[in-house]
Structure 1
Amino acid sequence: MSFKVCVCGGAGGIGQPLSLLMAMDDRVGELCVQDVDVAMVPAAGVAADLSHLNLPSKVKGFAIDPKQPAVDQLEECLTGCHLVLVPAGMPRKPGMTRDDLFNINAGIAKGIAEACAKFCPDAVLALIVNPVNSVVPAVTELYKKWGKDPKKIVGVTTLDLV
């Protein structure tokens, strides 16, 4: 069986090598690399770089406007996905509390989760969004509220697990 995987935040420091690992997996037939259109590295560029390698996956890049709801922009990217990996969000900066970090990153995770609930509700949603121990329960509650299976939500705390 061939799987469709999306890496939301795929142009970032974690997302790029994670996208490469996914593209190298023989079970991944289609890989979508998605990020915001203001990312330092364009998602389309990451996808183009990966497509030049002799890999089994068909790779496509998607950029979204962070000022617009993710659910309005991710249909093509997420439809048919089996796995959505989310190494998205802002890193913790000096002087920033965990509450500050949660307030920023939970909103990012919520937008992606809402799009997943709509376009790929059966996909496993793997959150690599800090603070992961707060974001995962929040997204799980949203999935329950939306009538989706909260057991599809997992938190990734160690990248070696992926």
Structure 2
Amino acid sequence: MDKKVTVVGAGNVGATAAQRLVEKALCDVVLVDIVEGVPQGKALDLTQAAAIEKHDAKIIGTNSYEETADSDVVIITAGIPRKPGMSRDDLISTNAGIMKNVTTQVAKYSPNAVLIIVSNPLDAMCHVAFETSGFPKNRVIGMAGVLDSARFRAFIAMELNVSIENTHAFVLGGHGDTMVPLPRYSTVSGIPITELISPERIDALVDRTANGGAEIVAFLKTGSAFYAPASSAVEMTKAILYDKKQILPCAAYLQGEYGINDLFIGVPVKLGKGGVEEIIEIKLTDDEMARLKKSAAAVEELKAVLAKLK
């Protein structure tokens, strides 16, 4: 195929993203992981599935970056999950080191790629990738808003017993409990959900969305969500590879938009072959803006932790 995507990290999110990319026949894929044998084995398994899934996309598993050269998009999922007894600062420190090493290699072999960051804490890892790669801001994007909006859409569809295809939703802000779901801009076949759902139920859906990841972790006990995060990264990748000019909520680097400077924050953006081609500024109420600023302050705290690590 004429399009190539690298997925760094062959864990649940990375491997599922690789699977969806090839089975949608969007591109050839290189799956990279530091654990010898894991990316090779998963790539071989997916290659054997191709005969049944009926696609000709190629997938390669490797422990090095040479075969990733000239990728159009690189999805970075590498990093460790937060473990019992580990502070947020510990998680940032460890994953920042991983992100720096990965991004250095990616930038070396694919200097024109668009980076989609999935690793947590997401907003902080976007800053590490941005500063390490030296890429322009439009080519470093965080996957958060697409996932959070998908969760909101799912809960809206469940609440109203309607097709999820009829739902649209926007969730802005940082990826965490300070995210900002926007019911006014969330619709079912163009009808704002504020016309269809009571304020009390909307508040419940908003709260469930903000805690969507934690709810899954509580069920799984020893893992976290990966199907929806992988789908979200693939949705963004498709928009970039095929220059779809799709409006999606993503973590983008703001320089004055929404009154926020020098931070990666989830906002509506136009995604095309250049990555973020436009940041869409929508009108927010005073309350919505206050919540967005609160979310930005939380990201600023993460950025301050990164500064201490230098």
> What's the TM-score, normalizing by structure 1?
0.82
Q: Unpaired segments of 5 or more residues in structure 2?
A: 148-228, 234-310
Matches within 5 A, 1:1-162: 2-10=2-10, 12-28=11-27, 30-37=28-35, 42-54=38-50, 55-63=55-63, 73-76=64-67, 78-144=68-134, 148-157=135-144, 158=147, 159=229, 160-162=231-233
What CA distance in whole angstroms lies between the structure 2 residues aligned with 1:3 and 1:25?
A: 13
**Take 1:152 and 1:75, find their aligned partners in 2: how far apart are those partners?**
21
Which runs of structure 1 show a deviation greater than 3 angstroms over 4 or more consecutive aligned residues? Answer: none
- Residue 2 of structure 1 deviates from its aligned partner by 2.6
1:3 maps to amino acid? K
**Percent of pairs with identical residues:** 30
Q: Is this contact kept in 2: 1:88–1:129, CA < 8 A? A: yes
Q: Is the 8 A contact 1:16 1:46 kept in 2?
A: yes
Q: What is the distance in 2 between the residues matched to 1:141 and 1:86?
A: 15
Partner SS, residue 78 of structure 2 = coil
Letter in 1 for 2:70: G
- Structure 2 residue matching 1:52: 3-state secondary structure: helix
What do the CA deviations read for 1:82-128 (whole angstroms, capped 9, x no partner)? 01111111000112111110111111111111112111011111111
Question: Which has the bigger relative contact order, CA under 8 A and spacing at least 6?
Answer: 1
User: 1:149 offset after TM fit, Å?
Assistant: 2.1
Offset of residue 80 of structure 1: 1.4
Measured against aligned partners, the alpha-carbon deviations of 1:21-67 in whole angstroms (never above 9, x if no partner) come to 11112231x211111125xx71100000000022331111102xxxx
Structure 1's unaligned 5+ residue stretches are 64-72
The amino acid of 1:61's aligned partner reads G
Find the aligned partners of 1:154 and 1:36 in 2 and give their Cα distance: 23
2:112 aligned partner, one-letter code: D
The CA distance in 2 between the partners of 1:129 and 1:36, in whole Å, is: 15
Query: Within 2, Cα distance between the matches of 1:91 and 1:101?
Result: 8
Rg (Cα) greater in structure? 2
1:79 maps to a residue whose letter is A
Deviation, 1:4, is 0.5
For the residues of structure 1 that align with 2:26 and 2:129, how far apart are their CA atoms?
Answer: 27
Deviation, 1:138, is 2.3
| Residues 141 and 150, structure 1, Cα contact 8 Å, conserved in 2 | no
TM-score normalised by L of structure 2: 0.44
Equivalent AA in structure 1 for residue 131 of structure 2:
E
Deviation at 1:14, TM superposition (A): 1.3
Higher helix share: 2
Partners of 1:143 and 1:32 in 2: CA distance: 19
**Which letter does structure 2 place at the counterpart of 1:35?**
D
